Amino acid sequence: MTGATIWLTGLPSAGKTTIAYELAGRLREEGHRVEVLDGDEIRTFLTAGLGFSREDRHTNVQRIGFLADLLARNGVKTLVPVIAPYADSREAVRKRHQASGAAYVEVHVATPVEVCSERDVKGLYAKQAAGEISGLTGVDDPYEEPTSPDLRIESHTQSVQESAAALHALLAERGLA
């Protein structure tokens, strides 16, 4: 089986994780080995000591990128729904995959901040608005949108199933699904 890293980047509450799990189910049904490296779970179990400074966010993304590359090189479709706000961090992950020969697909889940704020899955936007937290990506901390992702998904204009199907179609086109 061919492994690959499918990196889903976007603002908090953009729909990255929901799309990743929908696609993971479909890929598993087809017989693929699949892992989802959820950013929240990674922060809980692997990078708990890191904060949210630019340096710590970069370190977090590089650690996740290392793990994703390792899994991809070993035949696992690795779905990575992680904000990864900085272009240089994402580019370093792409280069790691290029160097190892592992397939890498970058997906921008391009949901407007207004929609993300309405969804507010974790209550982060409400906490930021109330002054309880600062440094919220896309609000008072930067998010550098990918300039040329392999796929751009506008999750606010289509269903989760349609978003996952679009991503599956790209993977199939590239011989990865």
**Which residues carry a binding-site annotation for ATP?**
10-17
Cα–Cα separations (whole angstroms), residue 132 to 9, 52, 135, 137, 142? 25, 15, 11, 15, 18
Describe the crossing of helices 160-173 and 16-29 by its angle, rounded to 10 degrees.
Answer: 60
* C-alpha 146: how far from chain center: 12
Residue written as tokens 């630019």? 54
As a residue count, the chain comes to 177
CB 136 within 8 A of CB 125: yes
> Residues annotated as binding site?
10-17
